[in-house]
């Protein structure tokens, strides 16, 4: 199929690439842009590992086509912080042992980034509901909940 | 997992959309939020030769109150927009209270009302709400527009009145009477997953408390949204008591649903849930009047 040229803003940088229409946004981010922080789990919208921000709102990158990112703004986990200068969410996850293998973590962080800003004092059940769209097979979720709680003002 | 190759169109106007579906018929698929279509394409269960992306099409995402008190909702209004809209909260409280049950927030940020309605998944919440609120759907093709009420739109499992060269453009929710209460309940193993069973209840009463109208619609206990008409008729013209609610919920669960067994739940368990949830939803709807 003929490739389509798209221009999109990724983590503040504008990029222009030619993509096949069937290229998923996850594969565009990982293979074409080499941003491998966004993980690919189930590829059908269940696990949440590929969650990114589209114009500031969390969405599944595996359920979007790269061509649909044309003209849009995307943020991935690479936009959060660096090992020397972590985002408060990343620091909270580090301190609460909120990850083991880390596979689900980028998706969870991107789900939570806007959520903790909108919900500065969440209850435990609100935190669990906010996390319901992200699967974690290691932690049993308790330490993730603890990490989010530790951010409460 | 990669979708099979397809041609991609992103029409800017509804006219272009209509022309494209007239030309390509069932070989083309309309792409709304993509939260059901893209997964089946990733699995290659669907291999359309063309995708017509509605996300860049103008005029499909309006949400407004019309002069007669109806709500008009464009097919591309996102589920998260419905969830957060003050207009919906005030004029369609059933939709407002149910939206948190629709999948997960990340899905609702992309998923659309029109996509959910035409996908016609028997486990979907939005089709059930549309039948409960007696919504009307506007379906368009080149040179022709028709309206179908939600109850007649759903025919069978994933089967609707929509033909290959039509698109659902608009949803009209009629004004609801003042003394009306609403409730929605469902049971899923994990919040946001497909429910094993669920039900929406709408109950209206007159000044003296006599029931004037009632709608009880079930999800995932039959091939389509299951409207329990005879059960609801048991309430109309009566003062609603707990005993009557119990009889109504029991009648509906025994006679007006068709649950089947799968790996998630047995037919018996679904019937049991329908009975319990029906009672709970009717009780809450009456309390909310």
pLDDT for A27 beyond 90: yes
Q: Residues 26..65 of B with a Cβ closer than 8 Å to A: which?
A: 34-35, 38-39, 42-43, 51, 53, 55
CA distance B52 to chain A (A): 11
Q: Which residue of A has its CA nearest to B1?
A: A43
Residue B1 pLDDT: 66
- Interface contact flag, A22 B3, Cβ < 8 Å: yes
Domains belonging to chain B, first-starting first, are: 7-53 (3.30.43.10), 63-173 (3.30.465.10), 181-287 (3.30.390.50)
Q: Which residue of A has its CA nearest to B38?
A: A63
A22 touches chain B (CB under 8 A): yes
Residues 6+ apart with CB under 8 A from B274: B197, B199, B218, B221, B249, B252, B253, B257, B259
- Write out pLDDT tens, residues B183-200: 999 999 888 889 999 999
Residue-wise pLDDT tens digits, A106-151: 999 999 999 999 999 999 999 999 999 999 999 999 999 999 999 9
Q: Percent of chain B scored above 70 by pLDDT?
A: 100
- Per-residue pLDDT band for A1 (boundaries 50, 70, 90) equals confident
Q: Does A4 touch chain B (CB under 8 A)?
A: yes
Q: Cα separation of B186 and B195, whole Å? A: 6
Average pLDDT over residues B134-158: 98
Please state the CATH superfamily assignment of the domain spanning residues A88-150 in this structure.
Answer: [2Fe-2S]-binding domain (1.10.150.120)
Closest in A20, A48, A59 to B110, CB measured: A59
Q: Mean pLDDT over residues B155-162, rounded?
A: 97
Comparing alpha-carbon positions, the chain A residue that sits nearest to B53 is A68
The average pLDDT across A23-35 equals: 98
Out of B5, B55, B105, the one facing A133 most closely (by C-beta) is B105
CATH class of A4-79: alpha beta
Does residue A153 surpass a pLDDT of 80?
no
Which among B6, B110, B190 has CB closest to A63? Answer: B110
Q: Which two tokens stand for residue B264?
A: 């998630």
pLDDT for B41 equals 97
A21 in contact with chain B, both atoms CB, cutoff 8 A: yes
Indicate yes or no: CB of A62 within 8 angstroms of CB of B5. Answer: no
| Segment 93-112 of chain B within 8 Å of chain A by CB | 100, 103-107, 109-110
Between vectors from CA A148 to CA A142 and to CA A150, what angle results, nearest 5°? 100
pLDDT in tens, A58-103: 999 999 999 999 999 999 999 999 999 999 999 999 999 999 999 9
User: Which residues are within 8 A (CB) of A41 and not within 5 positions of it... i.e. 6 or more apart?
Assistant: A47, A48, A49, A50, A103, A104, A107, A135
A54 lies within 8 A of chain B by CB: yes
Shortest CB distance from A45 goes to which of B39, B51, B190? B39
- What is the pLDDT, as a whole number, of residue B146? 98
Q: Report pLDDT for B190.
A: 82
CA B8 to chain centre: 28
pLDDT at B107 > cutoff 70 = yes
Provide DSSP, B8-46.
Answer: EE--SSHHHHHHHHHHHGGGEEEESS-TTHHHHHHTTS-
Domains of chain A by residue range = 4-79, 88-150
- The distance of B137 to chain A (nearest Cα, Å) reads 26
Nearest-Cα residue of chain B relative to residue A135: B190
Span B168-172, average pLDDT: 98
What is the structure's pLDDT at B164? 86
Give the pLDDT of residue A44. 94
Residue whose pair of structure tokens reads 């200068």 in the numeric block: A85
- Measure in Å the smallest separation between the Cα of B109 and chain A Cα atoms: 6
pLDDT of residue B50: 97
Q: What is the mean pLDDT of chain B?
A: 97
Nearest CA in chain A to B8: A21
Confidence at residue B38, expressed as pLDDT on a 0 to 100 scale: 97
């Amino acid at each position: 199929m003929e490739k389509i040229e798209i221009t999109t803003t990724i983590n503040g940088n504008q990029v222009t690439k030619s993509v096949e229409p069937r290229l998923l946004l996850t594969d565009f981010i990982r293979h074409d842009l080499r941003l491998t922080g966004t993980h690919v789990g189930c590829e059908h919208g269940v696990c949440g590992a590929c969650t990114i921000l589209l114009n500031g709102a969390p969405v599944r990158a595996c359920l979007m086509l790269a061509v649909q990112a044309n003209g849009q703004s995307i943020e991935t986990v690479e936009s959060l912080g660096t090992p020397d200068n972590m985002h408060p969410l990343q620091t909270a996850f580090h301190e609460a042992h909120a990850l083991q293998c880390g596979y689900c973590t980028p998706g969870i962080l991107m789900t939570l980034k806007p959520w903790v800003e909108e919900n500065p004092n969440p209850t435990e059940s609100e935190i669990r509901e906010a996390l319901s769209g992200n699967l974690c097979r290691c932690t049993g979720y308790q330490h993730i909940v603890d990490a989010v709680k530790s951010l409460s003002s | 997992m990669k979708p099979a190759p397809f041609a991609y169109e992103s029409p800017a106007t509804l006219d272009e959309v209509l022309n494209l579906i007239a030309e390509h018929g069932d070989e083309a698929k309309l792409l709304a939020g993509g939260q059901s279509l893209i997964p089946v394409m990733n699995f290659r269960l669907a291999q359309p030769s063309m995708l017509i992306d509605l996300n860049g099409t103008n005029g499909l995402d309006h949400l407004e109150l019309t002069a007669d008190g109806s709500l008009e909702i464009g097919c591309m209004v996102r589920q998260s927009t419905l969830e957060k809209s003050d207009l919906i909260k005030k004029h369609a409280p059933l939709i407002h209270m149910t939206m948190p049950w629709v999948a997960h927030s990340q899905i609702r940020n992309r998923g659309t009302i029109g996509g959910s309605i035409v996908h016609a998944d028997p486990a979907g919440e939005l089709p059930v709400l549309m039948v409960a609120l007696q919504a009307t759907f506007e379906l368009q093709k080149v040179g022709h527009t028709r309206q179908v009420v939600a109850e007649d739109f759903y025919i069978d499992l994933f089967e609707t009145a929509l033909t290959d060269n039509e698109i659902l453009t608009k949803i009209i929710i009629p004004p609801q009477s003042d003394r009306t209460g609403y409730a929605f309940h469902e049971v899923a193993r994990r919040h946001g997953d497909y429910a094993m069973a669920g039900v929406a209840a709408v109950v209206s009463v007159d000044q003296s408390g006599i029931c004037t109208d009632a709608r009880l619609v079930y999800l995932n206990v039959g091939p389509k949204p299951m409207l329990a008409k005879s059960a609801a008729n048991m309430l109309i013209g009566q003062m609603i008591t707990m005993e009557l609610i119990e009889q109504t919920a029991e009648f509906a669960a025994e006679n007006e649903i068709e649950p089947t067994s799968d790996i998630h739940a047995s037919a018996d368990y679904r019937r049991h849930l329908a009975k319990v949830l029906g009672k709970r939803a009717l009780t809450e709807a009456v309390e909310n009047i």
